[in-house]
Amino acid sequence: LRKLSQDSTAYRKQQRVWLEGDHLCRAALARGLKPSIAVFSASFWPFAPAEWTQVAIKNIVISDALLPEISGLESPARMGFVLDLPATPEWLPDAASVILDRVQDAGNVGSIMRSAAAFGFRQIIALKGTAALWSPKVLRAGMGAHFSLQLVEGVEPAALASLTIPILVTSSHHGSFLHQQALPMPCAWAMGHEGQGVSDELMDRASLKVRIDQPGGEESLNVAAAAAICLYASALAGQ
C-alpha cells in the first residue's frame, strides 16, 4: 500500500491501484467496480457503513498511527479501496478522444481527464512521456473520471495513423480562432507538453489547428485550462 500511494508507477508492477477516500471509492462503485481489498482505520471501522464494509473481497483494519504511511494526503483518509488494474483496452479508432502528448504534470493530466469525461469524450490516448494515468496524483486530480473513460497508455505517435477521426490541435501562433471554427465531432483533441507544446509530428497529423482568443493579452494558457475550453467547444458543436 505504501508503494501504491507514493510511487507513481507502482501500479504497473502490482497491477493494482489504491483509491484513498470516500469520493474516489464511491465513483468506482458507481461504475460497478469491485474492490479486492477495503482498508479502514481502527477508529472508523466501528462506524463504517455497510456500503463500505460489504463490497470488498477482504477487509483490513489498521491502526490510525499507520495511516500516514499509506497516504498521499496531508490529512489521511479514514478508508480506501485497492482495485485490480483494469486490463488495457483496445483503443477505439472512431471514439471522441483526447491525445496527451508528453503532458507531464499529474494535476494537469487528471484535470484534462475530468474535463474529457464531463464533455462526452470517451477515450484518453496517452503518448509515451505522459504522466502515468493511474498514479495516485492523477487519480486524485481526476476525481473519479478514470472510471468512465477508456484509458490507453504508452502509445507511439505513429500509431495515431489508425484513428478514423480528425485530430485537432491548439497553438499560440497558428490557425484560426477556436470560436470562429466549425468543429468536427467526434474528433481527437491533442494536448501537448507544458513547455514545448504539441510535437511537430503530431502537428503534421492534425486536420485542424486553432488558437484560443485571449483578449486579456496573456501569451498562453495552462494546458488543462486550454483543454477544458476546447472540449467544451466541441461538446457544443456536437449538440
pLDDT digits (tens, 9 = 90+) for 65-117: 999 999 988 899 999 999 999 888 888 999 999 999 999 999 999 999 999 99
Q: Average pLDDT in the 129-133 region? A: 97
Q: CATH number of the domain at 46, please.
A: 3.30.1330.30
Domain edge (last residue) among 84, 105, 128:
84
226 found inside a domain: yes
Cα 195 from chain centre: 20
Q: Are residues 121 and 208 in the same domain?
A: yes
Residues 118 and 44 in one domain: no
Domain that holds residue 175: 97-237
Q: What is the mean pLDDT of the chain?
A: 93
Would you state the pLDDT for residue 172?
A: 66
Together in a domain, 125 and 78? no
Q: Based on the domain organization, do 105 and 24 belong to the same domain?
A: no
**pLDDT of the residue at 215:** 79
Supply 87's cell numbers: 486490463
pLDDT tens figures, 132-162: 999 999 999 999 999 999 999 999 999 999 9
Query: Please, what is the Cα angle at 176 between 170 and 177, to 5 degrees?
Result: 75
**153-162, 172-181, 221-230: which has the minimum mean pLDDT?**
172-181
Cell numbers at residue 215, please? 483578449
Q: Identify whether 119 is part of a domain.
A: yes
pTM: 0.93
Quick check: is 91 in a domain?
A: no
The verdict on 44 and 128 lying in the same domain is: no
User: pLDDT-derived band of residue 196, with 50, 70 and 90 as boundaries?
Assistant: confident
Co-location of 102 and 217 in the same domain: yes
Based on the domain organization, do 126 and 225 belong to the same domain?
Answer: yes
Residue 72 domain flag: yes
**Angstrom distance (rounded) from CA 145 to CA 126:** 15
Tell me whether residue 48 is in a domain: yes
- The answer to the question of residue 190 being in a domain is yes
CATH number, domain of 131, equals: 3.40.1280.10
Over the stretch 13-43, which tens digit does the pLDDT of each residue have? 999 999 999 999 999 999 999 999 999 999 9
H helix or E strand, kind and range, residue 2: helix 2-6
Same domain? For 74 and 130 the reply is no
User: Is residue 92 one of the residues assigned to a domain?
Assistant: no
Q: Please tell me whether residues 80 and 104 are part of one structural domain.
A: no
pLDDT score recorded for residue 22: 92
Residue at which a domain ends, from 28, 51, 84: 84
Percentage of the chain beyond pLDDT 90 is 82
Same domain, 79 and 102: no
Tell me the C-alpha distance between 56 and 49, whole Å: 13
Q: Are 1 and 40 in contact (CB under 8 A)?
A: no
* Alpha carbons 102 and 172: distance in angstroms, whole number: 18
Q: What is the mean pLDDT of residues 216-224?
A: 82
Domain co-membership, 103 together with 79 = no
- Residue after which a domain boundary falls, among 50, 84, 118: 84
Q: Looking at the structure, do residues 31 and 124 belong to the same domain, yes or no?
A: no
What is the number of domains present in the chain?
A: 2
> Highest-confidence range of 150-164, 168-182, 218-232, by mean pLDDT?
150-164
Q: Is it the case that residue 219 has pLDDT exceeding 80?
A: no
